[in-house]
Amino acid sequence: MDLETDQWVVQINEKLKSHESSSMEIQKWEKHCIYALPSCVADLKKKAYEPQTVSFGPYHHMKEHVKAMEEHKHRALIHFLRRCGKPLKFLIESMAKVEQGLGDCYKELDDQWKGKKEKEKENNDHSFLKMMIVDGCFMLEVLRSADRDNNNGGDYADNDPVFSGHGKLYVMPYIKRDMLMLENQIPMTVLEILMEFEGNNNTQNPEFLNELILKFLCPNIPIHRNFGKCLHVLDLFRKSLLQHEPTHPTIIPKKITSSKHHQEQDEIIIPSARELQETGIIFKPSKTHSLKDVSFHGGILRIPSIIIDDSTETTLLNLIAFERMHVGAGNEVSWFVFFMDNIIDNEVDVVILHQKGIIQNALGSDKAVAKLFNSLSKDLAVDREEGGLDIVQVSVCRYCKKPWNKWRANLIETYFRNPWAIVSLVAAIFLFVLTIIQTVYTIVPFYHEDNSNNPSPPAARAFIPRVPRPHL
């Protein structure tokens, strides 16, 4: 083998000569925020990561099962341009300024979409740029459909299959589900440029777009904070689930050495909800819906109330995938799923959490909810050094190890479970006291009678010697 002409050797030598610094590598990885999942993740549940109704971005563009929505995408573009009153040429010029940056957001982007590499692709038709414009306009129109007083906003026909009242009821829920898939994202910059192009006065408010998106995704959840610049819709939705800081104090374990800390963590297996309840722990819903608002204090474990429906599994899997793929995203959602899987073993645990107002089951079957959380944590990795819920687990496990807590819980469960049990306990105590009193009154007279029949001998008289009187 001629090493001088070997293609692989030549490529490695060229990379060595380029002197690519670590700072350049950091900048390269920082640009990525939308990922094609590896097969080891996607194969576990393919339908959870692949859009079923509409595609956004290049990863699933023009696939057979989503091709039917392309017609409606182009209709949305026509409506958008007609409403703006500006030519398409100006929109293309505005979007072309950030085309390279938009492409850098995608990891492992195929060469057919790399429109800026003119030397590698002479007949560049800017297919990536066109796709961003069409998909962005459609997404913006979908978002605005939830913000209009009337269903079609006066711009679409009453029998429109997507933007009418009928479409809002039967089509929008599926579009919403697809918008929360990691592989089906477009950069938030696309929506920002579109709003700026049409001359929207609200573009000066950085939170206007965030509020528009959240109003569509979760209209019943109030917004209590500013989210700032977000990467895409999934990133914003994740931040909305974590928007509150914990509102209740948490027992902080005593500081221990690092080696002992890791050893203790490896042995931590938090019991199920049923076992925790038997130990005397009380479940209560948190005052906020933030997944970070899980706390344990004074025997009370507070968990945010969550709704489990048909879209929960898909949404949580994509949020976990985003935290897994995007460096620096955090692992709060993964930790919450890991925690819920620990305390839910079967349908009995689901029933307990449902009765306490923590789980709102829209699936109908408690067994299905238990199976859902047990499957979500498969191959799930969490960082214990950064996970706040690890402190809660340590505190709960230490509480369970104290025998008095279990004894007290058994006493309450046995004798104070209902009013009749309390009445029975009070009656038993009363009868026991009466029995003692009766026994005492029976023993005391017998003791006095025994003393009267056997008197004690009188005390002996003192001996005084007699002195004879003298004779006179």
pLDDT digits 0-9 by tens, 117-142 = 444 445 557 899 999 999 999 999 99
Rounded Cα distance, 258 and 15, in Å: 41
Copy the structure tokens of residue 4: 């001088």
Please tell me the total count of domains within the chain: 2
Same domain, residue pair 207 and 353: no
Instruction: Specify the pLDDT at position 457.
Output: 55
Residue 407 belongs to some domain of the structure: no
Residue 464 belongs to some domain of the structure: no
pLDDT digits 0-9 by tens, 283-313 = 999 988 899 999 999 889 999 999 999 999 9
Domain boundary pick from 364, 380, 401:
401
pLDDT digits 0-9 by tens, 406-453 = 655 555 555 555 666 667 767 777 788 888 887 877 777 766 666 665
Q: What sign for the dihedral angle of Cα 328, 329, 331, 334?
A: negative
**Percent of the chain's residues with pLDDT above 70:** 76
User: If you average pLDDT over residues 366-385, what whole number do you get?
Assistant: 87
Same domain, residue pair 284 and 339: yes
Same domain, residue pair 66 and 164: yes
* pLDDT of 374 over the 80 cut: yes
User: If you average pLDDT over residues 103-126, what whole number do you get?
Assistant: 68
* pLDDT of 197 over the 60 cut: yes
Q: How many CB atoms lie within 10 A of CB 198?
A: 17
Instruction: Specify the pLDDT at position 387.
Output: 58
Same domain, residue pair 179 and 74: yes
Cα 296 to Cα 15, 136, 300, distances in angstroms: 54, 44, 6
User: If you average pLDDT over residues 205-210, what whole number do you get?
Assistant: 85
Residue 65 C-alpha from the chain's centroid: 30
Q: Which domain holds residue 112?
A: 28-241
Same domain, residue pair 204 and 284: no
Segment among 75-84, 275-284, 322-331, 423-432 with least mean pLDDT: 423-432
The pLDDT-based confidence of 323 (bands split at 50, 70, 90) is very high
Same domain, residue pair 179 and 282: no
Residue 463 belongs to some domain of the structure: no
pTM above 0.75, yes or no: yes
User: If you average pLDDT over residues 78-99, what whole number do you get?
Assistant: 93
Same domain, residue pair 277 and 134: no
Residue 13 belongs to some domain of the structure: no
Same domain, residue pair 213 and 276: no
* pLDDT of 385 over the 80 cut: no
Residue 1 belongs to some domain of the structure: no
Do the bridges between strand 300-303 and strand 295-297 make them parallel or antiparallel, or are there none, so unpaired? antiparallel
Copy the structure tokens of residue 121: 């692709």
* pLDDT of 174 over the 70 cut: yes
Residue 21 belongs to some domain of the structure: no
Per-residue 3-state assignment (H helix, E strand, C coil) for the chain: CCCCCCHHHHHHHHHHHHCCCHHHHHHHHHCCCECCCCHHHHCCCHHHHCCCCCCCCCCCCCCHHHHHHHHHHHHHHHHHHHHHCCCHHHHHHHHHCCHHHHHHCECCCCHHHCCCCCCCCCCCCCHHHHHHHHHHHHHHHHHHHCCCCCCCCCCCCCCCCCCCHHHHHHCHHHHHHHHCCHHHCCCHHHHHHHHHHCCCHHHHCCCHHHHHHHHHHCCCCCCCCCCCCCCCHHHHHHHHHCCCCCCCCCCCCCCCCHHHHHHHHHHCCCCCHHHHHHCCCEEEECCCCCCCCCEEECCEEEECCEEECCCHHHHHHHHHHHHHHCCCCCCHHHHHHHHHHHHCCCHHHHHHHHHCCCEEECCCCHHHHHHHHHHHCCCCCCCCCCCCHHHHHHHHHHHHHCHHHHHHHHHHHHHCCCHHHHHHHHHHHHHHHHHHHHHHHHHHHHHHHHHHHCCCCCCCCCCCCCCCCCCC
* pLDDT of 250 over the 50 cut: no
Residue 190 belongs to some domain of the structure: yes
Domain boundary pick from 377, 401, 425:
401
Same domain, residue pair 262 and 287: yes
* Strongest mean pLDDT among 256-265, 359-368, 448-457: 359-368
Same domain, residue pair 35 and 100: yes
Same domain, residue pair 291 and 347: yes
Instruction: Specify the pLDDT at position 61.
Output: 94
pLDDT digits 0-9 by tens, 55-65 = 999 999 999 99
* pLDDT of 456 over the 80 cut: no
What rounded mean pLDDT belongs to the chain? 82
Domain boundary pick from 361, 382, 401:
401
Residue 412 belongs to some domain of the structure: no
* pLDDT of 79 over the 50 cut: yes
Same domain, residue pair 81 and 224: yes
* pLDDT of 151 over the 90 cut: no
